[in-house]
Amino acid sequence: MTFQTHDARILEVKELTSREKLFTLRFVDPEINRSFKYKPGQFVIVDIRGFGEFPISLCSTPTREGYFQLCVRRVGRMTKYMHTLKEGDVIGIRGPYGNGFPMEKMEGSTLILVAGGLGMAPLRSVLWYALDTGKYEKIYLFYGTKAYEDILFRDEVIHLLKHGEDMNCHVKLAYEVESPSCIYLEKGYSPRVCKGVVTDLFRGETFDVENTYALICGPPVMYKYIIKELLDRKLSPGRIYMTLERRMRCGVGKCGHCIVGTSTSIKYVCKDGPVFTYWDALSTRGLI
Amino acid sequence: MEILDKVYLAEPVDPYYKKRRENSIIIGISCMPDEYCFCKSLGTDFAMHGFDLFLHELPDGWLVRVGSVRGHEIAWENEELFEELTEEDVKNFREFEEKRANSFKKHLNKKGLEDILDLAYNSPVWKKYEKICLGYGNCNMVCPTCRCYEVCDLWMNAYEAVRVRRYDSCFMESHGLVAGGHNFRPTRLDRFRHRYYCKSYFDPSAGFNCVGCGRCDEFCPARIEHVKVLDEVREGLQ
């Protein structure tokens, strides 16, 4: 059944920041657990009975099997309820939906991951997938955050700042609000940590545009500036991948909320996306 | 109906829709166009398929076209209701169709419409109608191809809730709203234009998303006419 959800048990709840929690889940039915395969960039629909359903991206990597993780920010009625859940509680999950990032196609290339705020969640899936498989030449992670307290997966980001170079992973961090912790980070890892916005992190970096893919996720206002930065460096629109957000109810292209485009080209973000290239955005109005 | 089938019966199939669809018999009836109808312009005025039975009015009864095995079975089981077709019936049928074809009052110029609309993304016509449109969403409610739905959980009592689907309208502010308060279609202009783009989307295999029934005009509290808007947009480009 298309809209049938499956019970999943919460194995662990971890507080990432004051607003975000990381839920580690596993399906109650071991058969479903085995057959649940997903790609970085795909999403699931969480079903909280009595409250409703909401889409959320998977932030764990498929290379680590047996569980999956969702990073949930407390913003509304349903996510507020979800934050009250504890280990052992059961919620419904259906999916995975969407196209995900073309990880096979990008093998052997350099990846530039550009994350803004909560956009770190789906890109974390790509990051760990790339590190686990080791099939990518070099990985850049440009992460723009508001303040030190808002850094998602802070321990992982700091770990990669420290040891990332050994894994061909180059992490850069931009923060907006100054605090002692940020200044401490900046002192330790200058110039990779700086005050500013995420586009500032491009300064001084050069890429081999023939062999590079950029993957972007962040708040809607961010895309335009990042894309300008990438196009200035002559990266082809087909090599810029963005993962987008819309209101979604079904996840399979039926409910109509996520329709974008004009009379010549209509796309469903849930079914045709949520990962689009910049070329898609050029040919379909209203994507970004 | 075929437009809806294309959405709901495409993989993955919507099981609820499919079940209802399988349990329904489609009987069409030929009608005289009213003052709002422009279905002839969109080629949907004469159904070639998608029905079980189709009734055409004749002076002394009905001419019945059978469109499916199920329709054939119905006709078979009720043989006593049917008579052989006479030449006069055919003549009457032809006359009715001719009269009908000539009584359309509205015509939509659909030549290159999808490209013209795309080019007219920033047309001042949208801005003009933003002021006129009341954002009631009546046009969505009466549209035979509008199909957006919202899912919500309703509490029946303290212990039981049901998950229901209800109609949603793209004229509502919440249609493009996501968690955190960002709205992807924040102004009425965005929403108005979105509806016209959605209706005029041309699918090479299925045609336009609009069937030309004119019901949106009939029920619009602001008297906005679908054909007029599209014609004005077209003129705005020239």
**Confidence check: pLDDT of A1 > 70:** no
pLDDT for residue B238: 67
B114 touches chain A (CB under 8 A): yes
Does the structure show a pLDDT above 90 at A213?
yes
pLDDT tens for each residue of B54-65: 888 888 888 888
B232: Cα within 13 Å, side-chain hemisphere: 14
Query: Which fold would CATH assign to domain A110-226?
Result: Rossmann fold (3.40.50)
CA A268 to CA A254: how far, in whole Å?
A: 9
Examine the predicted complex and report whether its ipTM is higher than 0.85.
no
| Distance of alpha carbon A157 from alpha carbon A222, whole angstroms | 21
Spatial distance between the Cα atoms of A70 and A121, rounded to a whole number of angstroms: 8
Of B170, B179, B197, the CB nearest to A76: B179
What is the radius of gyration, based on Cα positions, of chain B? Answer: 21
Using the Cα atoms of residue A264, residue B201, residue B195 and residue A280 in order, give the sign of their dihedral. negative
What torsion do the CA atoms of B203, B207, B213, B214 make, to the nearest 10 degrees?
Answer: 60
The pLDDT value recorded for residue B232 is 87
Per-residue pLDDT of B2-24, as tens digits, reads 778 878 888 788 888 888 888 98
Q: Does residue A143 surpass a pLDDT of 80?
A: yes
Candidates A20, A118, A262: best to mutate against B (most CBs of B within 10 A) is: A262
CB within 8 Å: A249 and B149: yes
Percent of chain B scoring above 70 in pLDDT: 100
pTM of whole model > 0.80? Answer: yes
Confidence band for B39, pLDDT divided at 50, 70 and 90: confident
Nearest CA-CA distance, residue A222 and chain B, Å: 13
Residue A155 burial class via C-beta count within 10 angstroms: exposed 0-12, middle 13-18, buried 19 and up: exposed
- Minimum mean pLDDT range among A10-14, A25-29, A59-63, A164-168: A164-168
B7–chain A Cβ distance below 8 A for any pair = yes
pLDDT, tens digit (0-9, with 9 covering 90-100), for A267-276: 888 888 899 9
**Contact check, Cβ <8 Å, B15/A247:** no
Q: How far is B85 from chain A (nearest CA, A)?
A: 43
Nearest one of B219, B230, B223 to B195, comparing CA atoms: B230
- pLDDT tens digits for range A63-81: 988 899 999 999 888 889 9
The three-point CA angle B213-B218-B220 to 5° equals 120
DSSP state of A209: G
Flag if A261 and B10 touch (Cβ within 8 Å): no
Chain B, nearest residue to A245 by Cα: B178
Q: Is the peptide bond before A96 cis (omega within 30 degrees of 0)?
A: yes
Query: Tokens representing B44?
Result: 């949907």
Contact B168 A255 (CB under 8 A): yes
Q: At what angle do helices B188-199 and B226-237 cross, to 10 degrees?
A: 100
Contact A282, A49 (CB under 8 A): no
Q: What is the mean pLDDT of chain A?
A: 89
SS3 B47: coil
Say whether B202 and A264 touch across the interface (CB within 8 A).
yes
Contact present, A148 and A204 (Cβ < 8 Å): no
Q: Does B207 touch chain A (CB under 8 A)?
A: no
More confident residue, B192 or B202: B192
Cβ separation B168–A256 shorter than 8 A: yes
B201 contacts: CB under 8 Å, gap ≥ 6? A261, A262, A263, A264, A266, B114, B208, B209
Q: B191: helix, coil or strand?
A: helix
- What does the pLDDT look like over B89-142, one tens digit per residue? 888 888 888 888 888 888 888 888 888 888 888 888 888 888 888 888 888 888
Alpha helices by DSSP H, listed for chain A, are 30-35, 77-82, 120-133, 154-163, 180-189, 222-232, 269-272, 278-283
Please report which confidence band the pLDDT of residue B196 belongs to, taking 50, 70 and 90 as the band edges. Answer: confident
Residues of chain A with CATH 3.40.50.80: 110-226
- Under 8 Å CB pairs connecting chains A and B tally to 105
C-beta separation of B114 from A264 below 8 A:
yes
Do B198 and A52 count as a contact with CB atoms less than 8 A apart?
A: no
* CB-based contact A274:A98 (threshold 8 Å): yes
Residue A40 in this model has a pLDDT that exceeds 70: yes
CA distance B17 to chain A (A): 11
What token pair was written down for A41? 């960039």
Q: Which CATH superfamily is domain A6-97 in?
A: Translation factors (2.40.30.10)
Mind listing the pLDDT tens digit for each residue in A223-232? 889 999 889 8
Q: Is B34 on the interface with A (CB under 8 A)?
A: no
Q: Does the beta carbon of B204 lie under 8 angstroms from any beta carbon of chain A?
A: no
Contact between B166 and B152 (Cβ < 8 Å) = yes
**Spatial contact of A288 and A220, defined as CB atoms under 8 Å apart:** yes
Q: With an 8 Å Cβ cutoff, are B163 and A1 in contact?
A: no
- Residue with the bigger pLDDT between A204 and A157: it is A157
- Please give, rounded to a whole number of angstroms, the shortest distance from the CA of A208 to a CA of chain B: 34
In 3D space, the residue among B148, B132, B216, B119 whose CA is nearest the CA of residue A257 turns out to be B148
CA distance A96 to chain B (A): 13
Q: What are φ and ψ of residue A93, in 5° steps?
A: -135, 135
CATH 2.40.30.10 residue ranges for chain A: 6-97
> Three-state SS across B75-134?
HHHCHHHCCCCCHHHHHHHHHHHHHHHCCCCCCCCCCCHHHHHHHCCCCHHHHHHHHHCC
* CA–CA dist A72, A86 (Å, integer): 14
Q: What is the DSSP letter of A1?
A: -
| A51 vs B contacts (CB less than 8 Å) | 153
Listed in sequence order, the residues at least 6 apart from B97 whose beta carbon sits closer than 8 Å to its beta carbon are B46, B56
Mean pLDDT (chain B, rounded): 85
> In angstroms, what CA-CA distances link A129 with A6, A36, A43, A170, B9?
25, 16, 16, 15, 35
Spatial neighbors of A208 by CB under 8 A, at least 6 apart, are: A110
Work out the minimum CA distance from B191 to partner chain A, whole angstroms.
Answer: 11
Using DSSP, state whether A238 is helix, strand or coil: helix
Q: Is residue A23 predicted with pLDDT exceeding 90?
A: yes
Q: Is A92 helix (H, G, I), strand (E, B) or coil?
A: strand
| CA dist list (Å): A87 to A8, A11, A60, A224, B78 | 11, 5, 18, 40, 64
pLDDT, position B151 = 87
Name the closest residue on chain A to residue B194, using Cα atoms.
A262
* Burial status of residue A32 (CB atoms within 10 A of its CB: 0-12, 13-18, 19 or more): middle
The answer to whether A257 contacts B15, with C-beta atoms less than 8 Å apart, is no
Amino acid at A104: E
For A28-39, what is each residue's pLDDT tens digit? 998 888 888 999
Q: Which residues on chain A are in Cβ contact (under 8 Å) with B177?
A: 247
Choose among A50, A249, A265: nearest Cβ to B155: A50
Q: Looking at the complex, report in whole angstroms how far the Cα of residue B48 sits from the nearest Cα belonging to chain A.
A: 25
How confident is the model over B146-167, as pLDDT tens digits?
888 888 888 888 888 888 888 8
Within a 10 A sphere around the Cβ of B159, how many other Cβ atoms?
7
- To the nearest whole Å, the CA of A69 is away from the closest chain B CA by 19
Cβ distance A285 to B152 less than 8 Å, yes or no, reads: no
**A105-109, A214-218, B124-128: lowest mean pLDDT where?**
B124-128
List, in sequence order, every residue forming a beta bridge with A93; answer none if it has no partner: A6, A46
On whether the CB atoms of residues A98 and A42 are closer than 8 A, the answer is yes
Whole-angstrom Cα distance, residue B32 to residue B28? 13
Q: Which residues in chain B have their CB less than 8 angstroms from residue A259's CB?
A: 194, 198
